[in-house]
Amino acid sequence: MTTFILRRLIQTLVVIALLSYVCFYLMTLMPGDPVELMIQSNPKITSEDIVRLKQLYGLDQPAYKRYATWVSTIAQGDLGYSRTYRVPVGELMGPRLYNTFILSMLSLLISLAIALPMGIYSALNPGGKFDSFVNLFSFAGISIPSFWLALMLIIIFSVNLGWLPAGGTETVGMSDADYFTMIKDRGVYLILPILSLSIQQIGGFVRYARSAMLEAMRNDYIRTAKAKGLARNVIIWRHGFRNALIPLITIIALSFSTLFSGALLTETVFAYQGVGKLVYDSIIGNDYNVAMISFIISVSMVLLMNLVADILYGFADPRITFN
Amino acid sequence: MAIPQTNESSLTQGQINQLEKATPFWKIIFNQFIEHKMAVAGSIVILIFVIIALGADIISSITGLDPQKQNVSARYLAPFSTSEFSMDMKENEIEKWSEKNPELAVELSNFIKEKSLFSATDGQNPLIGFGTQDVSVVTAAIASENSASINSFKELTKTFTTKHWFGTDEVGRDVLIRLIYGTRVSMGVGVMVAIASALIGLLVGSVAGFYGGRIDTALMRITDALLSLPLVPVLIVLAAVDLQKLPAIKALMRPDNESIVKMFIILCFFSWMTVARLVRGSILSLREREFVLAAKTLGAKDSTIIIKHMFPNVIAPMLVAISLGVGNSILFEAALSFLGLGIMPPTASWGNMLNNAQEVIYKNMWLTILPGIMILLTTISFNFVGDGLQDAVDPKSIRR
Amino acid sequence: MKNSILILAASLLALSSCTKKESSSNLNNSEYKIGISQEFENLNPLVMQMVATTYLYSISGRRLVNMDENSKWVPQVVTEIPTLENKKAKIITVGGKKKVVAEWEILSNANWGDGKPVICEDFALAREIAMNPNVSVGDKESYAQIEKIDIDPKNPKKCTFTYGRARFDYYMLGTYMPLPSHLEGEVYKKHKDEREGYEKNSLYSKEPTNPGLYNGPYLISEIKLGDHVSFTPNPHFYGEKPKIQKVIVKLIPNTGTLEANLQSGTIDAIGVVGLDFDQATGFDKKVKAEKLPYSVNFVPGLTYEHIDMNMSHPILKDLNVRKALIQGLDRQTLIKSLFDGKQQIAIHSVSPKDPWYSETDAIKKESQYSKANAEKLLDAAGWKKGADGIRLKDGKKLSLEFSSTAGNKTRELVQVYLQDQWKQIGVEVTIKNYPARVFFGEITKKRKFDLALYAWTSSPESVPRSTFHSSSIPTEKNGWSGQNQPGWNNQTVDKLIEDLEVEFDPAKRLTIATKITEEYVKDAPVIPLYYRSEISVTPSKLKNFVMTGHQFYETNAIEKWTLE
């Protein structure tokens, strides 16, 4: 097992390194560098300005050289500097990554806590009243466009009822309040974004949980267990659920890999200070340092979560071995 | 399936033959599928949508609605309202009509002068002056008259008003007919992408899971790479690539469908990874099962084992992934148009209708609700069909 | 279960349709919150590039000169603008080259937020830093045109600028920002040889709340990039005392949420870099219908929306076709029905706000809408209507590709409208949009378009060298630089542009500019559409609020605003 994990970790590092170059190269492939975009809104910028700025930004160098420069600064522990915002990347991304993590983690946990029991219960009583309610709810959650849901929540809870703030991360000037008030304040701002994300995630999770459980409960050994007179709980959890785990692990691991990627739309609509929009803007605006760090994070998360999933497969089904 | 009474003496040879003949596999599946009521309902909805999509042109010609026809004097009309042409649109139409029927036009002009239905100012054509008034005024004035010219003119004025069951959009186009035409793109995207992603995912996932080892490592790292590859820069690069330059793709493309082909390729390319991982996870566990071992010892080929013995067992999670994918791809298509890779205006799709209405959600909420409902219906239908299929093909639930 | 869903849906709809009347009656001078939808960056005036940052900068920083709401140049931290008339500026000839020297004097009570005076050294430092190749300044023209600055040894607030070329626009230094030499001088000295060293270590990024960095009516008390900036009055400000005690500018990137925030009272106003046009007109109607305590302000701006026609394109090479495209579209109706008449129609590239604006009969005639005329022109060009209504010549369809920036709803709306209009005169256009960076970085830059819809913002009296001069046609040879994207090559215009730059008499400048405009309309390289309006929403209680309509935003007079 240890050798397996070690080998996979080494593989992972190699893939990250490879992919980071691919990403870097992709960024350089995009037509229109930031300097060219600058000219469009300002006819005053001369061609000399363009040449000078390109040299300054190093845009005149070939991609591999720039990549090498980037790697060497990273190796020195310097994450670089955001050219768009003109602040160090760590300073810019740190708090936002934290915010995104809080938002995604909470909504993921809440969705799972609601969706798994819902899915399992409706799988145990397929065709029942609860099942059709769950079905309808999850389909609605899947099909509602996220901007629509988010704006509706704002209209209802902020504009009309006035219960919750319409958007933001915290009340302005709250950063020097004491810890408890601050948490309370942050919590109030988190309710709507979490609600909007969860409603959508629950839909998908319920579908997977329900179908996996339905499938598992059809197996012959369930019939045998029932015939043996085992307690219902034992049948459901020890025999049924355990066998429904494989697809669930895959899906949950996939979801966890996006913990730090941020939900662009939800964060934007709720003006939440996450990384979603930052990353999007950094790619559009060729803010290399920010974009590359976010690529590295997302690549590592996917690979890491896949590794975790593979390990968990072994626990869920002891027949699976990795050699 | 009711088992016929097995009273030997009463059986004819024909009946015996019939009994001994095994029911074909597809028939078993079909029969079981039919039993799932919601799945049948879902397939009917999908069928209706497909018919609508294919028959959009016919619907358009019957109703006289044109998805591209604009009327900027009737923007954002509420559902069930009626729009009327603006003055110069009417003028245009009347001019066209006069050109086509010059005698009728003279006759009608004289009639208007005679009855002094309209007091034209200097240099104004009385026919146009009369005809460009409110349609209600015009029809009231000539309602009781009956002559060749007037009847023809009545037909013309009828086209000046349009009933909009679902209201109008930002340039006064009829929302209903746009939804109907949108069905083409959106259903096309949904179905094609779902099928393509399922096939690719199934292939990659099963090969990786079954063979394990190096093959697994290689395939799964590629899957991971695609999952984690940042979509935005890839899309921007693709937006700049002129696919016409690639000879292989050029054959598929004409300038008018370039954006659609591009979009399908992109959607398919980025949607199979979830299926692949789901399939691989299940196959990893299946390949250690007894029935696989049994098949192997019997000397079954790998492909036989994968296709015959494993696929029916991985179909459950796969179907969920596909049916979720249908709705997602419809919405994804709309997001692509933000990067210039989706459907270009004025072609309608549910997704871009939804997006265009985003800014006016406060004023005209129905514009976001209607396409939303279409997407919801599609997703639900596909899910039920998926459920039905799962029940039908599941070897454990097959009752023979 | 069905019933419960129905009830739920009904109550949701009811909740979302009933509107709470939000009153802004409790607004007073203690706090004023403005929402914007565009990103802002670090407030270092030398390196800032985003529009929203310019908006913010004027709240806390003042410059040499500024343009007021009537598009007139007015002094800001200086006593007066040196001109030939008031004898503070003169033209000299050095070594056969004409130059301008001008005397500037900084207001005696102009101070930085920490009480230190604003001196000529602050401007000299800004110039020195801007000219350093290690610092990424976008538009250097303001600084580069100044050859040297001589500071009066007796009075540090007095200095003489020598301009390298005798151009009439020498004093239009709206983007010349001072830097506090007592703070930034040190930083610059230390990091001037590192690539991008100054901007990384500048106090504007390391210690942005330092009062000494700002000389405007407000100081920054808190700044959180991507979220908000808080301002408090600057006790050392040279001008009128600011009335509002706290100003918060909050970034809400989604315009839908921005509107919701305003309605829920989270913000009190929306700045010019806020609402979309369609949304603003919608909100305006709502305000009027429900008598909400807001005013939605529309002011014609200087952003010129237009369509470049590629003059190298085989079809568009023909002047008749280009003119037919212009005359075949009804801009009046476009503005009236799509924009409620709230954008200003453009007949050429000079805005009515510009002193160079002209509307001679020749110009008017050329831009008149006439479908019949357009059809005549196309017939004359040999394009005959085919069976499907689309014109043909030599078996080829009159079909053009129409590109713009993808995802811009207003432009897509205009595109769809124009497509319909042109179809009526027998021209088929297919819409093909690209993401902004592909559009500007590839399509327009390399002139790969047929028709390209986009906008640029220019300031009044700016010489159109980079857009009209034939040397500005982007080619592979000049590294695709210049923005004469239609490829307009007119020797007369080239000459006129060169004359215009060195003409000091305003009346003569107008004559030259009018000639250029006439050529522009005659040759029709571009389809003018409209001037985009600047939009803001303010509470009705706010007084002394005047929008400018150009890039020197209303925040330049923020000290006058009051809610009492």
Q: Rounded to whole angstroms, what are the CA distances from B108 to A228, B127, C253, C482, C486?
A: 93, 7, 59, 60, 50
User: Among A132-141, A150-159, B151-160, C180-189, which range has the highest average pLDDT?
Assistant: C180-189
Token pair 């689309």 is at which residue? C390
Which of B332, B312, B323 is CA-nearest to residue B267? Answer: B332
Going from the C-alpha of B292 to that of each of B287, B308, B310, the distances in angstroms are 6, 10, 8
The C-alpha of A208 sits at a distance from chain B's nearest C-alpha, in angstroms, of 6
Q: What is the DSSP letter of B32?
A: H
For C39, which of A50, A175, A281 is closest by C-beta distance? A281
With a CB-CB cutoff of 8 Å, which residues 247-266 of chain C face chain A? Answer: 248, 250-254, 256-257, 260-261, 263-266
A210, A122 in Cβ contact below 8 A? yes
A191-200, A207-216, C214-223, C297-306: least confidently modelled range: A207-216
Query: Torsion angle of alpha carbons C325, C330, C334, C337, nearest 10°?
Result: -150
Give domain C301-532's CATH number out of 3.10.105.10, 3.40.50.300, 3.40.50.620, 3.40.1110.10.
Answer: 3.10.105.10
Q: What is the tens place of the pLDDT at every residue in B105-150?
A: 888 888 877 777 777 666 667 777 787 778 878 777 777 777 777 7
Cβ-proximal residues to B373 (8 Å cutoff; 6+ apart), any chain: none
pLDDT cut 70: percent of chain B above it? 89
A264-268, A317-321, C278-282, C425-429: least confident range: A317-321
Please state which CATH number belongs to domain A89-316.
1.10.3720.10
Tens of pLDDT along B218-243? 898 888 888 887 777 788 877 777 66
Residue B1 has pLDDT above 50, yes or no: no
Q: C338 vs B72: CB contact, 8 Å cut-off?
A: yes
> What is the SS3 assignment for C296?
strand
DSSP state of B360: G
Report the gap between the CA of A268 and the closest CA in chain C (Å). 6
The confidence band for A175, taking pLDDT boundaries of 50, 70 and 90, is: low
> What are the b/e assignments for A204-224, b being 16+ CB within 10 Å?
bbbbbbbbbbbbbbbeeebee
Residues of chain A positioned with their CB less than 8 A from the CB of B272: none
First-residue to last-residue Cα distance in chain C: 55
Query: Token pair for residue C325?
Result: 């495209």
What is the CATH topology of the domain spanning C65-184? Dipeptide-binding Protein; domain 1 (3.90.76)
For residues A85 and A173, the answer to whether their CB atoms sit within 8 Å is no
Return d(Cα B82, Cα B91) in angstroms, integer.
19
| Residue C214 near residue C61 (C-beta atoms within 8 A) | yes
Cβ proximity of C115 and C236 under 8 Å = yes
**Domains of chain C: which residue ranges?**
65-184, 301-532
For residues B390 and B385, what is the distance between their CA atoms, to the nearest angstrom? 8
**How near does any CA of chain A get to the CA of C79, in Å?**
27
| Mode of pairing for the β-strands spanning C32-36 and C269-270 | parallel
Q: Do residue B363 and residue C282 have CB atoms under 8 angstroms apart?
A: yes
Please indicate whether the domains covering C65-184 and C301-532 agree at the CATH topology level.
no
Q: State the Cα–Cα distance between residues C356 and C350, nearest whole angstrom.
A: 7
- Phi then psi for C534, rounded to 5 degrees? -85, 140
Chain C environment of A49 (Cβ under 8 Å): 138-140
Does the CB of A158 have a partner CB in chain C at under 8 Å? yes
Instruction: Give the pLDDT band (50/70/90) at residue B2.
Output: very low
Q: Does C390 touch chain B (CB under 8 A)?
A: no
Half-sphere exposure of C393 (CA within 13 A, CB side): 14
Q: Do A306 and B277 touch (CB under 8 A)?
A: yes
SS3 state at C438: helix
Tell me, what's the pLDDT at C23? Answer: 47
* B322 vs A: CB within 8 A: no
Give yes or no for residue B209 having a pLDDT over 70: yes
Among B217, B320, B358, the residue with its CB nearest the CB of A208 is B320
pLDDT for position C414 = 92
Whether residue C389 lies within 8 A of chain A, CB to CB, comes out as no
Q: Which residues of B touch C442 (CB under 8 A)?
A: 240
The answer, yes or no, to whether residue A41 has pLDDT greater than 60, is: no
Q: Is the pTM of this model over 0.80?
A: yes
Residue ranges of domains in chain A: 2-75, 89-316
ipTM of the complex: 0.82
Chain A residues touching residue C12 (CB < 8 angstroms): 152, 156
* Spatial CB neighbours of C502, under 8 Å, sequence gap ≥ 6: C98, C165, C166, C167, C168
Q: Which residues partner with C126 through β-bridges?
A: none
E-strand stretches of chain A: 81-82, 87-88
Instruction: Tell me which of A190 and A145 has the higher pLDDT.
Output: A190
Given a cut of 50, the residues of chain C with pLDDT beneath it are: 1-2, 18-24
Q: What local confidence, expressed as pLDDT, does residue B255 receive?
A: 59
**How many CB atoms sit inside 10 A of residue A72's CB?**
10
Q: Does the pLDDT of residue A234 top 90, yes or no?
A: no
In tens, the pLDDT along B61-94 reads 888 888 888 887 888 888 888 888 877 778 878 8
Is A279:A97 a contact under the CB 8 Å cutoff? no
Return the DSSP state at C78: B
At residue C184, the pLDDT reads: 92
The number of residues making up chain C comes to 564
Q: Which amino acid type is present at position A126?
A: P
Q: How far apart are CA A316 and CA A196, in angstroms?
A: 32
